[in-house]
Amino acid sequence: MTTSVDILGASAHRKLDRNDYKTLSLAALGGALEFYDFVVFVFFAAVLGSLFFPPEMPDWLRQLQTFGIFAAGYLARPLGGIIIAHFGDLLGRKRMFTLSIFLMAIPTLAMGLLPTYASVGIAAPLLLLLFRILQGAAIGGEVPGAWVFVSEHVPRRHTGLAVGTLTAGLTFGILLGSLIATAINSHYSQTEVHDFAWRIPFILGGVFGLFAVYLRRFLEETPVFKEMHARQLLAKELPLKAIVKNHLGSVVLSMLLTWVLSAAIVVVILFTPTYLQKQFAVTPALALQANSLAIVMLTIGCVAFGMAADRFGSKWTLGIGSLGLLISSYLFYGSLATASPTTLIVGYMVAGFFVGTVGAIPFVLVHAYPAVVRFSGLSFSYNVAYAIFGGLTPVMLTLWLKVDTLAPAHYVAALAVLGVVCALVPIPGYTAPSRDLPAPGAR
């Protein structure tokens, strides 16, 4: 009798081939373009706050409400992610992988064409909020779907490299946003940015998104889903129901690791450029330049920590990476009051590399669920946790900063400790990749 080891385990020892590299490249590039659409908002948070809210509003309240709209995108992620993942487990990974990016491109383009508060009053922030929610629903299906897609394409012993490379692609989207924001702030005066130049990155994002939809036409469905479909092993009930009933331990571990990931990305990478400008009077050009270099190191770190997870396992990789994040982030934030531009940039780059520890986190997440409910399980736990922790973090830090200028350092350090703790926890129900699918006829 043919077993699941015969069907799915044989590929575990083969080398990466041309199709694997093609899949990783196209998936990472498409993910970069979509993630750019989602995060470019934060690089223009200060400008958007001044344009979409009443001018007489206090600056701290304007920034709080702007970050509230930013957070709304995260709060919308669970619904979009659960729906897209549901059909991804039932109809196929590729279809939903392509749909999510199309649903991101349209609201991003619309944001770039929005009238401001001076033109339409209260309708301006309400429309901005609406399109941000639509962005959140789209990204909710993109990130988990991308991790599942690449992990099910490559040989099992290269899962860490695959998800680390895909995560690096997503972070490259952040870099792209930072580079374009840097270029706009360098090429245009602050008056020109407020008048019209802030629209450019959103319009570009819409174009990028539609191009990514075209690229994904060249991807193929994953071998794991094809095998499940051929052997009629697709979920017979709602995938989410099976997750809550049978995989609660995996959900808890996945949510805690997502909290660690959100602290690293949202605080160190997305929140810090505005933090540098507001708290330490760093010029926008220098803040964004340092941020761009930190993201370059983050992108390298994602691949490095993903490969380390393949080689040394998630326990050592996450544990050492989290300790590195704790130390480097405290040194970086603690030195800002007296740092020279060079010291600021170097400290930010080192912290950025250890943020790359997040490249190993999806290694745990994709192994925490069996293939039949993998997309739904990962999407549910990741998006719910990111909505709570990632979405509310900028708002919470904005309030915390009113009493402690080192609030970001304390928060990242606490979550780095949680990362070490999670690294010591075995992946619930995980023994070997070849056991993801039962043998034919198994009950």
| pLDDT over 60 (residue 237) | no
Per mean pLDDT, which range of 241-250, 271-280, 309-318 is the poorest?
241-250
One-letter amino acid identity for 141?
G
Cβ-contact 27, 34 below 8 angstroms: no
Please check whether the domain covering 30-218+235-424 is classified as CATH 1.20.1250.20. Answer: yes
pTM above 0.75, yes or no: yes
Q: What is the per-residue pLDDT across 347-387, written as a single tens digit (0 to 9) for each? A: 999 999 999 999 999 999 998 888 777 878 888 888 888 88
Crossing angle of helices 248-262/239-246, nearest 10°? 100
Residue 126 structure tokens: 């309400």
pLDDT at position 438 over 70: no
Q: What is the mean pLDDT of residues 273-285?
A: 87
Q: 79 near 140, Cβ under 8 Å? A: yes
What pLDDT score does 92 carry? 61
Where does residue 265 rank: exposed (0-12), middle (13-18), buried (19+ CB within 10 A)? buried
pLDDT tier at 203, thresholds 50, 70, 90: very high
pLDDT (tens digit per residue) in 73-115: 777 877 777 777 667 666 666 677 677 788 888 999 999 999 9
Average pLDDT over residues 176-189: 86
| Domain ranges (residues) in the chain | 30-218+235-424
Residue 435 pLDDT class (50, 70, 90 cuts): very low
**Of 244, 257, 265, the residue nearest 425 (C-alpha):** 257
